[in-house]
């Protein structure tokens, strides 16, 4: 059996980052202190997994144009395979990430080629000349399911992934905008559902994290709710709290993606869900101490933090 491999069919886009003191009031204005751009979205998840030692590949869409070129270069620089040819009809999309002085971020997203997958694209995914179903881990993002074109082909494709391979769905901040029938269809095959506390509360209407975890388990086999510095909840049979790590957060952009990538890497290494979640907590904690989205630490850095806390 080959080593487990992660494939993401999420969206890799370009983050246009604006650092601001605070969000302006409606109709107001604010002067950005700094700006920059970098690949983001599912890129952060893939980078986190690769840096934890898991071979990874991008099976989502990407376009022809300067943004698509940048995405492909960044993926290749991290050793991440690109499985699909560029779309000839559009460039890769982007988002505006507003990051305030407390490290919190707010996004405005513009979809591009990554939002126009076809059934032929997904049917043509190959790794080393073999079908995806020989591999072990599939990452699905809510942004991918939000675009109606993608949802129409992703949901039935996910249903064809053979049992025994791990499928994780991360709904993202717009998860409540994904049509209910799409989420219900994907939930039939998904093994894990990973979201942050805000997303969990919005999706369930619960008043606290444990209530949200219990509610989500009515639909999803297993659930992770990310709690920032407090760690996360893992809900399989019971709802378990996995502690976080005390750090000084500088930039939370991409922290949830790093958590997801490290969690999947832990599962790929044969760790229990709680051990993989602890690894993910450590990875996300280190990631927020650095500026930029793809700030996931190496496996050695994560292990050092785990050892120091034991």
Q: CATH for 6-11+40-93+111-309?
A: 3.40.1190.20
Which residues neighbour 212 within 8 Å (Cβ) at sequence distance 6 or greater?
A: 197, 200, 201, 203, 204, 206, 225
Average pLDDT, the chain: 92
pLDDT at 8 over 70: yes
Distance CA 168, CA 137 (A): 8
Domain boundaries of the chain, sorted by first residue: 6-11+40-93+111-309
According to the model, what pLDDT value does residue 128 have? 41
pLDDT at 246 over 50: yes
Count CA atoms within 13 Å of residue 298 on its CB side. 4
pTM, two decimal places: 0.92
pLDDT digits (tens, 9 = 90+) for 108-121: 999 999 999 999 99
pLDDT digits (tens, 9 = 90+) for 78-106: 999 999 999 999 999 999 989 898 877 78
**How many CB atoms are located within 10 Å of the residue 37 CB?**
14
């Amino acid at each position: 059996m080959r080593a487990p491999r992660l494939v993401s069919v999420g969206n890799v886009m370009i983050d246009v980052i604006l650092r601001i003191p605070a969000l302006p009031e409606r109709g107001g204005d604010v002067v950005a202190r700094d700006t920059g751009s970098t690949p983001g979205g599912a890129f952060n998840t893939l980078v986190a997994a690769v840096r934890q030692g898991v071979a990874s590949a991008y099976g989502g869409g990407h376009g022809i144009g300067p943004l698509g070129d940048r995405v492909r270069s960044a993926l290749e620089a991290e050793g991440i395979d690109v499985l699909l040819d560029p779309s000839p009809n559009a460039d890769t999309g982007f988002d505006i990430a507003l990051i305030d002085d407390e490290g919190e971020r707010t996004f405005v997203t513009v979809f591009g080629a990554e939002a126009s997958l076809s059934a032929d694209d997904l049917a043509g995914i190959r790794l080393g000349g073999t079908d995806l179903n020989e591999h072990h881990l599939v990452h699905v993002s809510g942004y991918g399911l939000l675009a109606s074109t993608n949802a129409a082909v992703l949901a039935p494709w996910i249903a064809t992934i053979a049992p025994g391979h791990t499928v994780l769905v991360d709904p993202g901040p717009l998860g409540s905008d994904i049509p209910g029938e799409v989420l219900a269809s994907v939930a039939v095959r998904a093994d894990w559902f990973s979201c942050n506390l805000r997303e969990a509360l919005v999706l369930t209407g619960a008043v606290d994290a444990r209530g949200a975890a219990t509610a989500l388990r009515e639909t999803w086999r297993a659930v992770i709710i990310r709690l920032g510095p407090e760690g996360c909840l893992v809900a399989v049979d019971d709802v378990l709290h996995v502690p976080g790590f005390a750090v000084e957060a500088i930039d939370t952009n991409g922290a949830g993606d790093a958590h997801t990538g490290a969690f999947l890497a832990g599962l790929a290494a044969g760790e229990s869900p709680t051990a993989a979640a602890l690894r993910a907590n450590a990875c996300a904690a280190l990631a927020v101490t650095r500026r930029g989205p793809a700030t996931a630490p190496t496996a050695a850095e994560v292990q050092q933090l785990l050892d120091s806390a034991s």
